[in-house]
Amino acid sequence: MKYWIEKYKLKSIMSVNLKLTAFLFSFFLVVACAKKSIPVGLEKLERKKTSELVDQLELLSNPEWDFLSTKITTRFLSNEHKQNFKTSLKMKKDSLLNVTITFAAIPIINAVLSPDSLKVVNKKDKCYMLEDLRFLKRKFEIPFEFSQVEELLLGLPLAWDKESRYHQLEDLYHYVISSHKKRFVNRRETKNDDEILIRYFLSPKTMELDQILLDSPQDTTSIRIQYFDRYNDGSFSLPQRTEINIFTPRDTIYVELKFQKPEVEKEKVIFLTIPENYEKCN
């Protein structure tokens, strides 16, 4: 009996050891393959200097234009709202941005944004808003400036600063330029509380801007902006479709913008009138 027990124990221990060895071997094999393999059909990106990619983003950040008008089909989703509407957009470079929102072909919202103010006329509720840009910062929990709203709509490198030092990060599908080194991005942290982690993703085929990721570690807010296809007239490139995902501790917001019939350099009148019987919006 004692011999049988000892033999059974030895057999059990060997079985466990074999299973453990097989598991560890499989685990390290998977890890090794994950690190070295490239998906089938995907060619390894040609190496490019960081300075070359930075120069490309600098070029993209300075298109030649003075006035743009276009129609936009907009879809908006949040935890509390779900809306689809049409938008007319008129933009005068560095000075004015006019948005008219319509439902069933009836204009209900007219808004004008300048570098220091936001004015909104709500025809549905017969009220108006006069705010500074801090309203946008409070609404989306990200420190937007007028120039950054302009860049966002035009599909330009958001918050690009040619005087800053940038870093190249590895990626299988894009050339990636980052405002911070890899260790800061992985840890989602910055040296200063008011800094934002920004990554720009360039298409290896067209060298156009495909995606931007912004992370604000201080308030745990993230924004992903994706650009799909573009209208090109030689000197100017406008996204045909833009998807924006905003993740905050309080809400998750999704915005889809489909641009139609863009016209560049054909200047149009921008105006906003507040009727005398309108009251301030609550």
Contact 143, 133 (CB under 8 A): no
Q: What are phi and psi of 188, to 5 degrees?
A: 50, 55
Q: Which 8-state DSSP code applies to residue 33?
A: H
Give the global pTM.
Answer: 0.78
The number of beta carbons lying within 10 Å of the beta carbon of residue 97 is: 21
- CATH class for the region spanning 50-272: mainly beta
Q: What was the pLDDT predicted at 29?
A: 33
Q: What was the pLDDT predicted at 21?
A: 39
Position 5: which residue type?
A: I
Q: What residue ranges of the chain have pLDDT lower than 50?
A: 1-38, 40
Q: Which 8-state DSSP code applies to residue 262?
A: E
Domain boundaries, the chain: 50-272
Instruction: Say how far apart CA 104 and CA 81 lie, in whole Å.
Output: 18
Q: What was the pLDDT predicted at 32?
A: 37
Q: What was the pLDDT predicted at 224?
A: 95
Give the list of residues 6+ apart from residue 80 with CB closer than 8 angstroms, or none: 251
| CA-based nearest residue to 213, from 195, 194, 199 | 199
Q: What was the pLDDT predicted at 257?
A: 96
Instruction: Say how far apart CA 153 and CA 240 lie, in whole Å.
Output: 11
Q: What are phi and psi of 274, to 5 degrees?
A: -105, 110
Q: What was the pLDDT predicted at 89?
A: 95
